[in-house]
Chain A
Amino acid sequence: MVGESHICSAWEEAIVNPVITVENLRKTYESITAVDGISFEVYRGEIFGMVGPNGAGKTTTIECIEGLRAADGGTLRVLGQDPVHNGRAVRQRIGIQLQESNLQPRIRVWEAMALFASFYQQSVDWNALLEQMDLQAHRHVFYEKLSGGQKQRLFIALALINDPDIVFLDELTTGLDPQARLNMWEMVEDIRDRGKTVFLTTHYMEEAERLCDRVAILDQGHIVALDSPANLVKQLDAPLRVEFEPVGPVALGPLQALPTATHVEHHGHRVIAWGKGDPFIVDVVQTLTNQHIRFRHLQVAQPSLEDVFLALTGRRMERGQ
């Protein structure tokens, strides 16, 4: 009983005391409104993601929360403090990985770790951090000699050096190869499992879907949806997607005429058809067979966050850029 009420109150505390509160945040660059009055909260121990196409306002939002940019309007609280006015106090307790940054070209890995450790009142054993990030063998290497993935891991190590309460990761995996991206994902989950809150931005929907406990979808400076990826997809009541590669020419008319189909289109060599309910798959295959259309590489895709974005904005992520 005691244990249960303890868990309960800890959970309530997390809800009552979010680690980040954003109220009506607004930021304009000259004539462009980058962020147009958004509000949300981030709770202790979750991986919170912000997704959206380039230019949606993700980086502006994250940098306002980090205290690196001053907002034009709204209220921000990070660990109970104003990140601009109490910037240095807030930055003692958070870790930041910036979307685009570098270190001095000829600083050695261990020198960067020791230097950054000196900026904080408390810091962890950075040799262990290098070990975790698989950089121990490169501790004497100049920053400029590191590969893209190694640089990114070094920046994560630097973001963790003060044992922060919140870690901010802005476009963590952009420009990394698939294997490095998978490794990064595991690293982020590991950070959360150590009890830290993770705030990340990405323009890869599959990254948000795989990693985030909750996702805010941003488009043109507005939050168009905010929930867990599973709930977002569920609420969408989205069509199934069936894709195949026809052998020879194919007319889309009969597929479009199916009562279960919602939309059919050519996409390069492939045909993509959207429809409702499981019978849709059978309907498509039956129609193709009846029409004597041969096909290969048939794939059925469940709705994803990508579809959520499409449904909410009428645009695809990649086209939204």
Chain B
Amino acid sequence: MQSLSKLALVNAKLYIREPAAFFFTLIFPAMLLLLFGAIFGNEPDPAFHSTRGFIDMETPALMAIVIASSAFMGIPIAIASLREHRVLRRLRATPMHPLAFISADLLVNFSMTLMGAMLLILAGFMAFDLQFHGAWLLLLVAFTASALTAFSVGYLIATLSPTARIAQTLGMVLFFPNMFLSGAAFPREMFPESIKRISDLMPMTYMVNLLQAIWFGQPWSEYRTTFIILVLTAMGGLFLAVRHFRWE
């Protein structure tokens, strides 16, 4: 336990000292929201049931981008780089429990991602007349399940990548299509039918839909299946990620 808290503390410091991860997770999403707001405004729009504006739709969707940025870029590159430079090897040569390392890494990445999402929501409320009709606790649960699912994919990319460079490439291959086609960067309501069909294939689409549904207080029956599947994949994914974690 002592080494877990120490590892988490050191990892948090190292995270903040890494400008790219810090920027993309904590600053970039809020910046994107402010930019979109400046361009599109937040007036109720017929495209979004005439009651919601662009920013109302974008805020929960951008939460998925914060997750994706950590999961597909931050985690795989950081872990693959630590393995490539034999840092993991040195840690393994101590009595440190392997689970303590993975837990600390997960904890720090999740905390930073959550903070990025909170900054994003805060920016939305401060700059625009943001609507929220859901339950915060439920949103937190859905966000956590989404993050853990995506993170386990991130750890698996790290396992598959012999170098940080390959991890970065694989991460980008997942990040960009998911970002643009899931409805995270642009609301799905704006897509033509053909793009919507591709969008249905993106795993992140389901995270965006779930976060939006909860955000606007839709009835439970509407997102029950997605919710349950996401929680189950989060548990299964983490199990796989821990089991297949490679130290060298």
**Residues of chain A having any CB pair with chain B under 8 Å:** 66, 68, 88-89, 91-92, 96, 98, 100-107, 111, 114-116, 118-120, 155, 158
CB pair B95–A91 under 8 Å, yes or no, is yes
- Cα(A104)–Cα(B97), bound, Å: 18
CB pair A88–B87 under 8 Å, yes or no, is no
Q: Is B2 an interface residue (CB 8 A)?
A: yes
Chain B residue nearest to A118 in the complex (CB): B6
By a CB distance below 8 angstroms, the chain A residues around B6 are: 114-115, 118
11 contacts across the A-B interface (CB closer than 8 A):
A66-B93, A68-B92, A91-B93, A98-B86, A98-B93, A102-B87, A111-B10, A111-B13, A115-B3, A120-B94, A158-B90
Q: Is B17 an interface residue (CB 8 A)?
A: yes
Q: Is B7 an interface residue (CB 8 A)?
A: yes
- Cα(A118)–Cα(B14), bound, Å: 17
CB pair B86–A102 under 8 Å, yes or no, is yes
| Given known contacts A91-B95, A115-B7, A119-B94, A106 and B14 CB-to-CB distance under 8 angstroms | yes
Cβ-neighbour of A104 out of B82, B89, B92, B96 (below 8 A)? B82
Cβ-neighbour of B87 out of A89, A103, A119 (below 8 A)? A103
Chain A residue nearest to B6 in the complex (CB): A118
Q: Is B165 an interface residue (CB 8 A)?
A: no
CB pair B93–A104 under 8 Å, yes or no, is no
By a CB distance below 8 angstroms, the chain B residues around A105 are: 85
A122 → chain B, closest Cβ, in Å?
11
CB pair A88–B97 under 8 Å, yes or no, is yes
By a CB distance below 8 angstroms, the chain B residues around A119 are: 3, 94-96
- Cα(A101)–Cα(B247), bound, Å: 12
CB pair A98–B90 under 8 Å, yes or no, is yes
CB pair A104–B14 under 8 Å, yes or no, is yes
A245 → chain B, closest Cβ, in Å?
44
- Cα(A225)–Cα(B96), bound, Å: 37
By a CB distance below 8 angstroms, the chain B residues around A92 are: 95
